[in-house]
Amino acid sequence: MQKIGLRVDILLLMLLGFLLLPLNGYTQPAQPQPSAFSVHDAFQSNVSLDMEVYLFTSGMNPLTKEPGDMDGEGTTTKKTCGSGFIVREDGTVATNYHVVRHAIRGAATFDNKTSCEISHIKACDPEHDIAVIKLKTTSKFPAVSLGNSDELNILDKVIAVGDTACQGLAVTDGSINRLPNAEINLIRHCAPEGGGNSGGALYKGNKVIGINKQMGTGSQNFNLTIPINQLKPLLTAQYDQNLPLSKVFPLEAVSKKLQNLYATIDEVPAGTKDNPNYWTYELQVAPLEDYVISVESPEKALVIKVFDPIAQVFNPLHSLIGIAEPKKVGSNKLFISTEELQGNVIVMVTNSDSSPVSFGFQVNKINW
């Protein structure tokens, strides 16, 4: 009887142990987890971008002179900062198109303060605000691992790396709160960002799943990021232009890069100095594009103005996109940049003379 009782006790213990195994996790295979993010690795593969770019001064506010004038063909230079990340070990870097747009020169700086000149632009996609650039170097660099932005979920944890406030590389974390959709093909997340983060990497685990594009305004910490899958085609040989940086946005060669959008001959009614008359044209524009508006008027000097009609309703002082006072009778030109503006703008040709003025009118887009 003692032996039978002992066997029963052993069987009970074995059964109890078997039942406890799932509680201890021994019978369930471990779920695969994404590799952890490494600050050390990220700082070796991410860079700060210091750029010198030119701006069209006609687009500045003529009332405040910040810093522009009313010269439709005038330019000024400005130093800006942004971010990027290594996508090829030869020093190929991905960033935003708006970071390198109108670049005269630029350099990439690593976290250890070593710096490399930007020599070439390999590919540009203004529509999606992506650029691929090449550093002037023979060194090899650790490249980031690219993830799949089609496999993201709401509340996925993400980490943003970039040159926050132009003070050097910094790391912030947050989560995805909106996925790309047919209306807005951008990832929205709440990892804090600042000026200078544009073009920086957004990580999920140790893989880059997006290119940071735009930070939220005001108190809204909703930042927008380009899905990384939009970058991947630009890394193929098909899109590799490999143009020297100085040859991508050449002001001296603008005349060879113009695409005519509209041309006509018309007349501006008579006006006065205090009450000028005007002729208008609605121009449909896209973000990050440049346009040249030309007026030929052999008889009189005509002023060209471009307004944002939506801003005109809410803030008239900031509705002016560009203005060109004629340098001489006969011709006038106005260069404008749209930045984030999309939709219709109003082009106005004004006449302060007491007689009607005939003129020729053209709108051209600059295809850099």
Residue 156 backbone dihedrals phi, psi, to 5 degrees: -60, 135
Average pLDDT score, the chain: 87
Mean pLDDT value across residues 331-347 = 91
- Report residue 335 as tokens: 């260069």
The answer to whether residues 130 and 94 touch, using CB atoms and an 8 Å cutoff, is yes
pLDDT, residue 79, reads 95
DSSP state of 191: S
Beta-strand ranges (E) seen in 154-301 are: 157-162, 170-178, 187-189, 201-204, 207-214, 223-227, 243-244, 258-268, 277-285, 290-297
Q: Is the pLDDT of residue 270 over 50?
A: yes
**Alpha-helix residue ranges (DSSP H) falling in the chain:** 2-24, 39-45, 97-100, 309-314
Q: Tokens 């860079």 map to which residue?
A: 47
The distance of Cα 37 from the centroid of its chain, to the nearest Å, equals 25
Q: Look at residue 69 in the predicted model and tell me its pLDDT.
A: 62
Mean pLDDT of 211-229: 83
Cα–Cα distance, 362 to 263 (Å, whole number): 4
* Coil, strand or helix at 100: helix
Structure confidence at residue 28 (pLDDT): 45
Checking if the pLDDT of 103 tops 60, the result is yes
The pLDDT of residue 21: 45
Query: What residue ranges define each of the domains in the chain, with the CATH number in brackets?
Result: 33-249 (2.40.10.120), 252-366 (2.60.120.380)
- Whether the pLDDT of residue 2 is over 50: the answer is no
User: pTM score, two decimals?
Assistant: 0.85
Residue 59 to residues 54, 62, 261, 283, 305, Cα–Cα distance (Å): 12, 8, 20, 16, 10
Q: What average pLDDT does the segment 301-328 reach?
A: 81
Strand ranges across the sheet with 357-366? 258-268, 357-366, 290-297, 330-337
Residues, the chain: 368
In this predicted structure, what is the pLDDT of residue 329?
A: 84
Q: Which stretch of 33-42, 195-204, 212-221, 294-303 has the lowest confidence by average pLDDT? A: 212-221
Per-residue pLDDT, averaged over 187-201, amounts to: 94
